[in-house]
Structure 1
Amino acid sequence: MECNHNELSAKIARQTFAVACVESAERSALCCSHQGHLYDVIATFSAVIQRRIDIGKRFRDNKLPRWPYTLDVNESHVLASLGFDIASANMTLDDPVIEGSGSFYPFSKGQLPPEPPLGNMEYKLKLIPVNETRRQHLSTQLKWRLKEGFGEAIYEIGVRDDGKVVGISEEDMRISLTTIDNMAKSIGAEILLTREFLHNGKHVAEVVLRRLPDNTDEFVDFRIALLGNVDSGKSTILGVLSSGELDNGRGKARLNLFRHPHEIQTGRTSSVSREILGFSIDGQVVNYRVSDTSEEILQQSFKLITFTDLAGHHKYIRTTISGLMASKPDFVMLVVSALVGCNQSTVEHLSLAAALRLPVFAVITKTDCCDLARISKVIGDLTALTQSTDLPSDLAAVVQTEDECLSAAYHMACGAMMPIFTVSNVTGQNLNLLTRFLSMLPCTVATKARELSLREPAEFQIDKCYRLDGVGKVVSGILTSGTISPGTTLALGPSFSGGYTKVLVKSIQRSHTPCQLVRTGQSVAVCIVLDDEGFRIRRGMVLTDIASPLNSCLVFEAVLRILCDVKVITKGLQGTVHCGYICQTAVVTDVDSQEALSNPLERFVKLKFIKQPECIRTGDRFVFRHGRIKAIGTVGLVMGLDGPVF
C-alpha cells in the first residue's frame, strides 16, 4: 500500500502533541505530592492513565485535540471521574477567608489530609528514639524527605499518619524537637520552627528542615513575574525587597531598577528589568543590604528568586507580553494599588496569568494612603475578578500572620488559592509577611517539573548576544531542557535561511559566578566559539544538541483560545507570536470554520511567520496578539523546512 508522507507526518505530530498534553498532567501529578494538594498522587496518576486512553479515543477527522485536553488535570473533574468525594477531598482547606480572620491550614479542625507517601511532608506523633536502630531509621526517613523536597522537608509533630491532630505533652515536644535537631545536624541540615501551638491542651509543632546543596551549580532559582497596572508600585516594591530599604514616598526605591532616562523622569517602567532576592537556610533575607554583589547573594542563599519587572502601561503591552513569555515564570505577583484599585489592565493581566496556568498571589500596595474601608473594597473587587478566570475565586485569602505563610505558599503553588498581601513600601507594614511567604515557596514546584526535562536533549533559548573584549561572543538566556557544560559542542540557529552552525561552549556564568554545569530552568550567560564567525546571532535563536532533530519552522498549526471580547479570527489576519524569546509577526493562512461553530472561544488555525523561520516544537505555548485580540495558543503540527541544516 502506498503511504502518503504528509499524512504520516501529520499523524506523528498529533501523537506527539497528545503525549505533550499528558506529560503536562504527569508533571502536575509529580508537583502535587506535598502539603496542600487536593488529592492523592496515586489518584492523579490513575487520572493520567485514563487521559492517555481518552486522548486516543478523541482523535477525529485528523484534527488536534481540542483545548481542554491541552490543560493540566482539573482536580475536581479528576476526583469526580474516579469516584472520589469532592467535599471530603476539599477538607485540606478551610472555608473562604476574605478578611484574613481564619486559618489557611485546618489545624483548628483537628484533621489534616492523610500523610502523602511521596513528597517532602512527614507526620510524626512524636520523635523519641528508643535505640540506635530507631535513630538510624528516622535519619534515613529524613534523608528521603529532603531528597523528595530537593533540600527541603516539612515535619508536622503531634499528628498521626492519618492526619489526625492529636498533640503531645510539653516534655515529649521538647524531646521531639531536640531529636529532629540532632538528626538535622548529623546530615548537615538546619531546622526552622515555623509554628507551635496548643490543640486541646496539647502541643503541636510544624518544622521546616533545609539542607544546602553540595555546590552552587545545583541551585534552582524561582522566577516571579510582576504584573499590574501602571503606577501600582511594582518597581517600588521590588526595589524595597532587593535593597532592604523602605521607600521615601517619592519613588527612591525604584531608581536602581530603571534603565532609561525617560523612566526616571516619568516614574514608569517601559522595559524589562530583573532583580534577585535570596534567602538563607534559616529563612533570613539575603539582599543588597547584607551583601554587596549578586555573587555574594548567590553564595549565601539557600533559595534564590529572580524577579522580572514588567511594564504596566497599556502602550507597552507588547513589551509586557514578550517579557512574560520569555522569562518563563514559576509564579506571578499581581500588584494592585489601593488608591486606584482594579481596572482593565488588572483584568487583562489576571486573565493572561490564568490562561498560562501560572499560580498567582496578589499584593495590594500604598495601604498607608487609605483607610480600612478602601482596602476592604479593593480586596473584594480583586476577589470578584477571579470569578471570570480559572483562578480559585472562592479561596482568595488575605495573609495576616506569619503562621499562615507556609500554608499559603503551598496552597498557592498547587493552584488551590490566591493569597493576598496588603503592604506599604513607606511604613513597611506587612512586608515581613511577604518576605516570609517568599521564603516558604516550595522547592518542588520549580524543581520537579524541570527534573523531567533533564533527560531531554539540551536546548538553550537566547535572549541577548554580546561581544566582550578579551572574552568573545556571549549569549544569555534560559536552558529549557537538558544540561550544558563547558567543552560541549552545540548547534546554533535557525538562521534567516533556516540553517544552523556548530559552536563550542567555552565557559558559563550564572549570576556573574562561573559554573561547570547548567540544568534545566536556569538563567545563565554562555561564552561560545562559532565555526562560522560571520553567522549572525539574534534573539529567539537556540543552542541545541547536535544529535537532536534540528527544527526550522516557517508554518505551523495551532489551537488558539481567545481571551478577549473580539472573537473574529479570519484568514489573512496578521498578529504577533510571543513564544519564549521569539517575537515575530505571523499571518493566519487557514481557519477551521467548523471548529469556530462548535466552540466560539477556540480556533484551529494555520500560521506562517512572515520574516524568518523559528525553532518551535509541538506542544509549545504562545501568545497571539493583534490589537484588542489576544489568544493563548498551543503548537500542533510543525512544518519544517527542507534542505541542508549546516
Structure 2
Amino acid sequence: MSPDRAVLQRALDRGEQEGGSVEFKERLTEDLHLSEGRLESLAAQLRHRVLSGDGEATYVVGVTDDGGLAGISPTEFSESMDVLSLLAEEAGAHIEEVQTWGVDSAGGDSSEDATQGIVGVATIREGAVLEDDDHIVVGTAGHVDHGKSTLVGSLVTGEADDGEGNTRGFLDVQPHEVERGLSADLSYGVYGFDGDGPVRMDNPHRKTDRARVVEESDRLVSFVDTVGHEPWLRTTIRGLVGQKLDYGLLTVAADDGVTETTREHLGILLATELPTIVALTKTDLVTDDRVSEVEREVERALRDVDKTPLRVERHGVDAAIEEISETVVPVVTTSAVTQDGLDTLDEMFERLPKTGGEVGEFRLYIDRTYNVQGVGAVASGTVKSGEVEAGDELLLGPMQDGGFREVEVRSIEMHYHRVDEAKAGRIVGIALKGVREADIERGMVLLPREADPHPVREFEAEVMVLNHPTRIGDGYEPVVHLETISEAAQFYPEGGQLLPGDAGRTTVRFKFRSYLVEEGQKFVFREGRSKGVGTVTDVGAE
C-alpha cells in the first residue's frame, strides 16, 4: 500500500462514530443535498464533525455507509466537492485539501484501464477563506547575500536573526540550499494581522502552522522570495513576471551597497510596473555614515531610472502608503539582527491596499500542470483578469499548430481550498475536462469559449538593454519571459543594433511556435550575462 493510499485507509479504519470527526458519503448532489432544509441539516452535521475533531474533519467521498469503496465518476466527484464546499462555507469552514484515488470494482488500487471510479478524502478546517482584498502578495528580489530570505524569515516569525542567517532557514528547504546558504528556487512565506497586530508562524515548515495563520488573520501577506545568485536569475524572472504580485520588495545590503545585480532586479521590478519598496538590510554591520552613503547610492539608482525615492524614516509611513506607485519608491532601513525597521515594514504591509487584478474577460496564463488520478489534467497559474467558475467552457491554447481547444472547468482549488469561482489575482489550480495533461504546456492561456484569440509568432516592442558585452544586432537570440511564456526568440532591432544602456524598437520573433501576446505586456529577455526589459507595442495577428 502506498503512503498516499494509507491516508485513505486510516480514515476508513477510524470509521464513522457518533462523536467522531470522520464522515462517509457515497456522493453529494446539488438537487438533493442543497434542497431547502437539507442544506441546513448537512451543514450542522459538518459543523459537528469539525468541532469533534478540534477544528478539523475528514470527509471520505465515494464510499458506502459502512466504508465500502464504491467509487464515483469524475463528474460526480466534482459535483460532490462543489456541494461539500458550499456546506463547509455554510458551517463557517473550508476545504483545505483533497486527495483522490482510483478504485476498481473490487475496491483495490486500479490501473488506468481498470478504473471504475474514484474515492477522495477531503480535509475540512474551521474558518473561512479570506477574501481577495485581505491578501496581498509581495515579490522580493536583490543580490545574493543581501538578506532577502533572512528579512522575510524574521518578518513571518518575529524572530531576530543570529547574524548567521538562521531565520533564512525558515525558507530554505532543500538540503543543498541550507548547506550553501543560497536559495535555489522560489520559496514562500506568509504572515498576517488581526485586530491586535501581527500573526506570525512558529515554524514555517509546518503546514498546520501556516493554516493557523490563515485562520487567525484578518489580513494575509504572502512573500514570493526569489533568488539573487546569478545562475538562478531565470528563477527570479519567473517569480517576478509569472506571478500576479501586488508589491515588490528589493533588498540592498548596507555592507555591500548597490551592485549590478541590484540594478538588474530593480529594472525588472520597475519594468513590470510593480509598486516597490527598497529595504536597506544589515545596517547593524556598518556605521551610520555608511548607511547614509548606501541610502544615497539607492537614491541615485532610482533617479537613474526616473523614479523618486521616499525615505520612510524622514517622511513617515502615512506618506509612504499614500505615495507608493510606479514612480515613487519608499526606502526603509532595517536589520534582521536588531529588528530595527521591521515594525515599519509590518505597518506598511498591514495597511497597503491590494493593487487588484485587471478588468476584462477571464484570462489565465498557465504556469504548471499536473495529472491527478481520477480527476485528470490540472492547470495552475494566476488569474490575470476576469473570473472563472466551475462548469465554465473555455478555450485552451495555442497548441503546437496555433489553434485552440475547447475544454470545461471540472473544479477549482486555491491553496488546497475548493472554491466555486476565482477572480483576478488568485493563484489557482483548475481541473480541466477534455484535454490530457501531456497536451498542456507552460505559456498556454485559458480564455472564455466565445473569445477570438489570435496567437502570433512575432511582435514589435520597445526594449531597454540592461547589460550586454557588445552590441545586439539582427538575429540576436535571447530567451523571452512574458507572463508565463519562456521561449527562445530572435531580435531584429530598428537601425540594426542596440548597445548596452540603449532603449529602442525591435521586432521579436519566437523561434519555435506562436503564443498569445497583447500590446502593453511587459517582458524580460536574457542570454548569458545579457539582460533587458521590454514592452509589447504592436501585435500583428497571423
Report the TM-score, using the length of structure 1 for normalisation.
0.59
Q: Tell me: CA distance 1:511–1:541, structure 2 relative to 1, closer, same or farther (3 Å).
A: same
Alignment of 1:178-217 (within 5 A): 216-217=130-131
Aligned equivalents of 2:399 and 2:468: distance in 1? 37
Matched residue SS, 1:298: helix
Preserved contact between residue 409 and residue 438 of structure 1 (Cα < 8 Å): no
Aligned equivalents of 1:435 and 1:283: distance in 2? 13
- The corresponding residue for 2:223 is 307
Could you report, residue by residue, the CA deviation over 1:217-241 in whole angstroms, capped at 9, with x for unpaired residues? 4446322211111001111111122
Preserved contact between residue 473 and residue 498 of structure 2 (Cα < 8 Å): no
What residue identity is the alignment partner of 1:287? R
- The corresponding residue for 1:285 is 198
Could you report, residue by residue, the CA deviation over 1:181-205 in whole angstroms, capped at 9, with x for unpaired residues? xxxxxxxxxxxxxxxxxxxxxxxxx
Could you report, residue by residue, the CA deviation over 1:537-576 in whole angstroms, capped at 9, with x for unpaired residues? 2211111111111232222222223334768332111111
Q: Tell me: CA distance 1:404–1:534, structure 2 relative to 1, closer, same or farther (3 Å).
A: closer
Aligned equivalents of 1:621 and 1:315: distance in 2? 23
Preserved contact between residue 132 and residue 426 of structure 2 (Cα < 8 Å): no
Q: Which among 445, 449, 463 is matched to residue 560 of structure 1?
A: 463
Aligned equivalents of 2:349 and 2:152: distance in 1? 13
- The corresponding residue for 1:591 is 493
Aligned equivalents of 1:571 and 1:248: distance in 2? 51
What residue identity is the alignment partner of 2:494? D
- Report percent identity of matched pairs: 30
Q: Tell me: CA distance 1:413–1:511, structure 2 relative to 1, closer, same or farther (3 Å).
A: farther
Aligned equivalents of 2:282 and 2:141: distance in 1? 16
Q: Tell me: CA distance 1:465–1:423, structure 2 relative to 1, closer, same or farther (3 Å).
A: same
Could you report, residue by residue, the CA deviation over 1:272-306 in whole angstroms, capped at 9, with x for unpaired residues? 222223223x3722332499444443344333322
Aligned equivalents of 1:522 and 1:629: distance in 2? 32
- The corresponding residue for 1:509 is 413
* Residue 439 (structure 2) pairs with residue 536 (structure 1): yes
- The corresponding residue for 1:18 is none
What residue identity is the alignment partner of 1:321? I
Preserved contact between residue 339 and residue 366 of structure 1 (Cα < 8 Å): yes
- The corresponding residue for 1:348 is 264
Deviation of the 1:341 alpha carbon: 2.0
- The corresponding residue for 1:81 is none
Q: Which among 300, 318, 332 is matched to residue 421 of structure 1?
A: 332
Aligned equivalents of 1:591 and 1:349: distance in 2? 24
* Residue 479 (structure 2) pairs with residue 479 (structure 1): no
- The corresponding residue for 2:505 is 604
Matched residue SS, 1:399: helix
Report the TM-score, using the length of structure 2 for normalisation.
0.70
* Residue 308 (structure 2) pairs with residue 406 (structure 1): no
What residue identity is the alignment partner of 1:625? R
- The corresponding residue for 1:440 is 351
Q: Tell me: CA distance 1:540–1:399, structure 2 relative to 1, closer, same or farther (3 Å).
A: same
Aligned equivalents of 1:513 and 1:295: distance in 2? 11
Matched residue SS, 2:232: helix
Preserved contact between residue 474 and residue 497 of structure 2 (Cα < 8 Å): no
Aligned equivalents of 2:386 and 2:164: distance in 1? 45
Preserved contact between residue 312 and residue 331 of structure 2 (Cα < 8 Å): yes
Aligned equivalents of 1:413 and 1:277: distance in 2? 23
Deviation of the 1:460 alpha carbon: 1.0
Could you report, residue by residue, the CA deviation over 1:4-29 in whole angstroms, capped at 9, with x for unpaired residues? xxxxxxxxxxxxxxxxxxxxxxxxxx
Aligned equivalents of 2:438 and 2:538: distance in 1? 29
What residue identity is the alignment partner of 1:616? V
* Residue 542 (structure 2) pairs with residue 631 (structure 1): no
Preserved contact between residue 138 and residue 221 of structure 2 (Cα < 8 Å): yes
What residue identity is the alignment partner of 1:486? A
Aligned equivalents of 2:326 and 2:230: distance in 1? 30
Preserved contact between residue 312 and residue 320 of structure 2 (Cα < 8 Å): no
Aligned equivalents of 2:310 and 2:232: distance in 1? 29
* Structure with the higher fraction of residues in strand conformation: 2
Q: Tell me: CA distance 1:551–1:222, structure 2 relative to 1, closer, same or farther (3 Å).
A: farther
Matched residue SS, 2:239: helix
Q: How many residues align?
A: 412
What residue identity is the alignment partner of 1:638? V
Preserved contact between residue 464 and residue 539 of structure 1 (Cα < 8 Å): yes
Aligned equivalents of 2:217 and 2:154: distance in 1? 18
- The corresponding residue for 2:425 is 521
- The corresponding residue for 1:272 is 186
Cα RMSD between the aligned structures?
2.8
- The corresponding residue for 2:251 is 335
Deviation of the 1:312 alpha carbon: 0.8
Deviation of the 1:470 alpha carbon: 4.6
* Residue 396 (structure 2) pairs with residue 499 (structure 1): no
Uncovered stretches (5+) of structure 1, i.e. residues with no partner: 1-213, 642-646
Matched residue SS, 1:484: strand
Q: Tell me: CA distance 1:353–1:615, structure 2 relative to 1, closer, same or farther (3 Å).
A: same
- The corresponding residue for 1:54 is none
- The corresponding residue for 1:370 is 286
Q: Tell me: CA distance 1:300–1:471, structure 2 relative to 1, closer, same or farther (3 Å).
A: farther
Deviation of the 1:420 alpha carbon: 2.2
Uncovered stretches (5+) of structure 2, i.e. residues with no partner: 1-127
* Structure with the higher fraction of residues in helix conformation: 1
- The corresponding residue for 1:386 is 302
What residue identity is the alignment partner of 1:620? Q
Q: Which among 124, 137, 160 is matched to residue 246 of structure 1?
A: 160
Q: Tell me: CA distance 1:493–1:296, structure 2 relative to 1, closer, same or farther (3 Å).
A: farther
Aligned equivalents of 1:519 and 1:437: distance in 2? 25
Matched residue SS, 1:586: strand
Aligned equivalents of 1:315 and 1:390: distance in 2? 29
Preserved contact between residue 423 and residue 431 of structure 1 (Cα < 8 Å): yes
Q: Tell me: CA distance 1:625–1:556, structure 2 relative to 1, closer, same or farther (3 Å).
A: same
Aligned equivalents of 1:235 and 1:623: distance in 2? 23
Q: Which among 129, 150, 170 is matched to residue 236 of structure 1?
A: 150
Matched residue SS, 1:236: helix
What residue identity is the alignment partner of 2:287? D
Aligned equivalents of 1:457 and 1:532: distance in 2? 22
Q: Tell me: CA distance 1:426–1:504, structure 2 relative to 1, closer, same or farther (3 Å).
A: same
Deviation of the 1:414 alpha carbon: 6.3
- The corresponding residue for 2:370 is 466
Aligned equivalents of 1:412 and 1:480: distance in 2? 22
Aligned equivalents of 1:242 and 1:534: distance in 2? 35
Aligned equivalents of 1:313 and 1:496: distance in 2? 34
Matched residue SS, 1:532: coil
Mean Cα deviation higher: 567-576 or 262-271:
567-576
Preserved contact between residue 230 and residue 313 of structure 1 (Cα < 8 Å): yes
Aligned equivalents of 1:326 and 1:632: distance in 2? 14
